[in-house]
A and B are shown apart, each in its own frame.
Chain A
Amino acid sequence: MRIECPLCGSRDRREFYYSGHASALERPDPDSSAEVWDDYLHNRDNPAGLTEDLWHHEMGCSAWLVVQRDTVSHAVLAVRLAKGDQL
């Protein structure tokens, strides 16, 4: 499995750390209800098909990446920096 890091190019899966769905980017307001926090931290759409998840290029540039991926075919469709466009 390979991922196209926007900074480093196509790299082997071994260089990356996976953490979970990209919904982790949408951290709730600290005062949000227990239900909102529960949903943020635990519940997942867990799609069979297209998803976006977070990968850390730990053995590379240490960028956190949002990877658009198909969980059934393992196709990687797009990769962007979690921090946005600015380098």
Chain B
Amino acid sequence: MRFSALKILTEGLTGNRGWGAHWRDPEPAEEYDIIIIGGGGHGLSTAYYLAKEYGLKKIAVLEKGHIGSGNIGRNTTIIRANYFLPGNSEFYSHSLKLWEGLETDLNYNVMHSQRGQIGLFHSDGQRDAAIRRANSVRNQGDDAELLSVDQLRKMLPYLDYDQGRFPIYGGLLQRRAGTARHDAVAWGYARGADQRGVDLIQNCEVIGIDVRGGVVQGVQTSRGAIRAKKVGIVVAGRSSQVAAMAGMRLPIESHVLQAFVTEGLKPCINHVISFGMGHFYISQSDKGGLVFGGDLDMYASYAARGNLPMVEHVAEAGMTLMPMIGKARMLRSWGGIMDMTPDGSPIIDKTHIEGLYLNAGWCYGGFKAVPASGNCFAHLMATDTAHASAQGFRLDRFRTGRGLMDEEGTGAQHNLH
């Protein structure tokens, strides 16, 4: 079924009885060409592109809960392409371009809103770093511009320019950056994959990976054994557990990142705003809630919930930056499980086991990566060669030190990125 305004009109006039399932619930087959473990954003987009761009037919996505039950539905929905290190720069550029065509491609409105993202800086040193970043982005062919305080005052009149602890020196704007409706991204990819014949199998937990002679054979699941020629692990915060089923120990530590939303409010924040001094970022959803977040809680955790110190720190950062949000009330807080790597950048690579592939380590930046991550991982799984935009995401970079992508410059401590 194709979605359109006309379809909504005709369905509305006939009692909305014609809407069908967005995806099927098939029984798992005995064997697939490719199994993707993990029905989150990255897994679903991998399956979608495998089917769409590589014409592969026998693909299954195995999800232990329901589609989109992980970080794809728990993030602050920010999309940007302003990474500055080689490896990251070209990848996020590729992802942003895929975002820009996504709704047409999927025939699903993911509400991709290019409302612009502004990163504020607060010292000469931070300005220089912002200029370096902006030039990387421009070298890559994407947009970035430096805003003076006067320009900022016009665009964001509600920031506290005069009384803040760290005065605002300026901002780095990417106009093509913005947000999207996170759940819709998962559902849109799921529907697109399903329409192209991918079996999305929910409530199917992988409990073992079968390897014989260094070659992957398939997986054991809560719904029985399933054979596969190739298996891709795309399970974010649970990467260490699933990789351990194949005897691997990963450069990943799982951490909790909280996110927050306020009660609905009339439009007041029209961009995505990041406050570097306080690890605070905020935007306003189309429903009116202010969606915001901060730094990790800073301890290894699988609890998908956090504690008060970070909640309060984030609120304090918000209050010093934009005191007008004082009367907005935090409605809900939640947490996701972040697969933190030693350099803060992801891994899209083969493993030492033939036919077993790894897509992990998205830290807390995975949402914006969803299209390119699936696109590049599909390329790797289908062709056994790295996609041109994802050549840097190698697993061995930590051992060799070659091509580390430590955007924060904080070094090999997983939680500092």
Query: Is this pair of chains taken from one and the same complex?
Result: yes
Q: Which residues of A contact B (CB under 8 A)?
A: 1, 12-14, 18-21, 34-35, 38-39, 41-48, 51, 53, 55, 69, 71-74
Instruction: Tell which of A20, A46, A48, A71 touches B413, judged by Cβ atoms closer than 8 Å.
Output: A20
B111 at the interface (CB under 8 A from A): no
Task: Choose from A47, A48, A53 the contact partner of B299 (Cβ within 8 Å).
Answer: A53
Residue B37 at the chain A interface, CB threshold 8 Å: no
For residue B298, CB closer than 8 A to chain A, the reply is yes
Cβ-defined contact, B303 with A41, below 8 A? no
* B251 CB within 8 Å of chain A: yes
The reply to whether B252 and A46 contact each other, CB–CB distance below 8 Å, is: yes
B303 partner, pick from A12, A20, A71, beta carbons under 8 A: A71
A46 adjacent to B240 (CB under 8 Å): yes
- Residues of chain B within 8 A of A21, CB atoms compared: 253, 300
**B→A interface (CB under 8 Å):** 238, 240-241, 244, 249-254, 298-303, 307, 309, 342, 398-400, 412-415
8 residue pairs bridging A and B, Cβ less than 8 Å apart: A20-B413, A20-B415, A42-B251, A42-B342, A44-B251, A51-B300, A53-B300, A74-B307
The answer to whether A42 and B413 have CB atoms under 8 Å apart is no
Taking a contact as CB atoms under 8 Å apart, the answer to whether A42 and B412 are in contact is yes
Known: A46-B250, A48-B302. A14 touches B398 (CB 8 A): no
- A48 proximity list for chain B (CB < 8 A): 238, 240-241, 254, 302
Q: Does B309 lie within 8 Å of A45, measured CB to CB?
A: no
**A41, B400: Cα distance in complex, Å:** 12
Distance between A62 CB and nearest chain B CB, rounded to angstroms: 18
Q: A44-B240, A46-B253, A46-B254 are in contact. Are A19 and B303 (CB under 8 A)?
A: no
How many A-B contacts are there with CB distance less than 8 Å? Answer: 79
Please give, as numbers and ranges, the residues of chain B lying within 8 Å of A47 by CB-CB distance.
240
**When chains A and B are docked, how far (Å) is the Cα of A19 from the Cα of B253?**
11
CA distance A34 to B415 in the complex (A): 23
User: Which of A12, A53, A71 has its CB near the most chain B CB atoms (within 10 A)?
Assistant: A71
Contacts of A41 in B (CB 8 A): 342, 398, 412
Does the CB pair B415–A18 fall under 8 Å?
A: yes
Question: A45 with B240: in contact, given A1-B307, A72-B303 (CB under 8 Å)?
Answer: yes
Residue in B302, B309, B398, B414 whose CB lies within 8 Å of A20: B414
Instruction: Contacts A13-B307, A20-B413 given; indicate if A43 touches B302 (C-beta within 8 A).
Output: no
Q: Within the assembled complex, what's the spacing in Å between the Cα atoms of A48 and B309?
A: 23
Q: Give the residues in chain B near A55, CB-CB below 8 Å.
A: 299
Of the candidates B249, B298, B302, B342, which one forms a contact with A72 in the assembled complex, judged by CB atoms under 8 Å apart?
A: B302
User: If the complex has contacts A19-B413, A38-B399, are A44 and B250 also in contact, measured as CB distance less than 8 A?
Assistant: yes
In the complex with contacts A20-B415, A48-B241, A43-B250 CB distance below 8 A: yes
Residues of B within 8 Å of A69, CB to CB, are: 299-300
**A18–B299 touching, CB < 8 Å:** yes
| Residue numbers in A under 8 Å from B252 (CB-CB) | 44, 46
Question: Which of A12, A18, A43, A51 has a CB less than 8 Å from the CB of B251?
Answer: A43
Contact flag A71-B249 (CB < 8 Å), given A13-B309, A48-B241: no
Q: Which residues of B contact A43 (CB under 8 A)?
A: 249-251
**A2 → chain B closest CB, angstroms:** 10
Note all chain A residues with C-beta closer than 8 A to B342.
41-42
Task: For A18, list chain B residues within 8 Å (CB).
Answer: 298-300, 415
User: Are A39 and B249 in contact (CB-based, < 8 A)?
Assistant: yes
Q: A46–B249 Cα gap in the complex (Å)?
A: 9
